[in-house]
Amino acid sequence: MIPSLRLVEDIPEWGTLVALVGGEHHGANVLLVPAARILPGDSRRHGSPPPERRRWRLIDDDLATREVARAEATRRAEALLDSLLDDQQRAQWRSRRGFWVPTPFGEVELGRISHLRFNGVDGTRLVLCVLPTRFSELPDADIWTNLLLVLHAEPLRFFGVANYRTPRGAWQSGPVPLALPRSAVD
Amino acid sequence: MGTMRILDRTGDTAVTWDLDDESTIRAAEEIFEREAAQSKMAFARSVGAPVEEAERIRSFDPSAEEIIWVRPIQGG
């Protein structure tokens, strides 16, 4: 996990004191020093005494709490999605944050909001946009869990509500024009 | 013991029930009905099973190991 940084205090002439939020060293304080203070030729490096420290500001506990909660939500959502994927999808998700889902009508790539690639069984190439309601509340991985389950169980519902466009075309309202599944043609 | 996982801003909220405790089953069933009334969709699976083994369900099944609730979808 990549931690976030939370400002604790600006210390003039010294740098910026930040706290790590999330990750292995959550809660640790780190002093970020401007490069000009330590690069060769900076006369202030050895000359002037450090300034008197100001009183520390109160740490924004609410912000830290929210960040920790968000990190935990992301962890739960990632674990749930991971458990639903097959090995190939899991490898795709881990390497490029997207994975292909087969359906009777073709395959859909989940992982980019408003840009779901669809390769139809008849060679059609489209870009789809489908989202869970109030998706902005959800961690990213939950969005894809939501769409993965619906797409797998009820692909016609998925394609029925999707907006779509050709790779260079304008958006059109669903349902997506679908070719018959292979099983229906055979 | 079964668990419902309702996707939300916390990742998911878990609701558990115990087959030996009728009150927990009734409570879980009420929550199932509440979520269904919001047009959400429920999928049952064994814990950790891949999506191919997840089954859409429309009524509460106390024997399910895990029920995942997802939101209705719409064109974006």
Q: Examine the pLDDT at B16 and tell me if it is beyond 90.
A: yes
B22: Cβ contacts below 8 Å, ≥ 6 apart? none
Taking an 8 Å cut-off on Cβ atoms, the answer to whether A130 and B76 are in contact is yes
* Interatomic CA distance for residues A112 and A98, integer angstroms: 7
Q: Is B40 on the interface with A (CB under 8 A)?
A: no
**Is the pTM of the predicted complex or chain greater than 0.95?**
no
Best residue of B4, B6, B7 to probe chain A, by most A CBs closer than 10 Å: B7
- Whether residue B29 is contained in a domain is answered as yes
CB A1 within 8 A of CB A71: yes
Helix (H) or strand (E) segment spanning residue B5: strand B2-8
* Interatomic CA distance for residues B70 and B24, integer angstroms: 22
Q: Which domain holds residue B65?
A: 2-70
Q: What is the pLDDT of residues A6-38, one digit of tens each?
A: 777 777 767 788 888 777 777 777 788 776 666
- Whether residue B76 is contained in a domain is answered as no
- Domain locations along chain A: 4-59, 86-185
Give me B66's structure tokens.
């895990």
* Interatomic CA distance for residues A103 and A64, integer angstroms: 42
Q: What is the pLDDT of residues A91-134, one digit of tens each?
A: 999 999 999 999 999 999 999 999 999 999 999 999 999 999 99
Best residue of B8, B43, B51, B68 to probe chain A, by most A CBs closer than 10 Å: B51
Q: Examine the pLDDT at A58 and tell me if it is beyond 60.
A: no
Q: What is the pLDDT of residues A135-160, one digit of tens each?
A: 999 999 999 999 999 999 999 999 99
Number of folded domains that form chain B: 1
Using CB atoms within 10 Å of the CB of residue B19, give its burial: 0 to 12 exposed, 13 to 18 middle, 19+ buried: exposed
Q: What is the pLDDT of residues A38-47, one digit of tens each?
A: 665 554 555 5
Q: Which of A46-55, A69-78, B30-39, B62-71 has the lowest mean pLDDT?
A: A46-55
Determine the residue type at A56: W
Q: Which of A74, A130, A142 sits opposite B7 (nearest CB)?
A: A142
Question: What is this model's ipTM?
Answer: 0.96
Q: Examine the pLDDT at A185 and tell me if it is beyond 60.
A: no
Q: Is A114 on the interface with B (CB under 8 A)?
A: yes
Residue B69 confidence (pLDDT) = 98
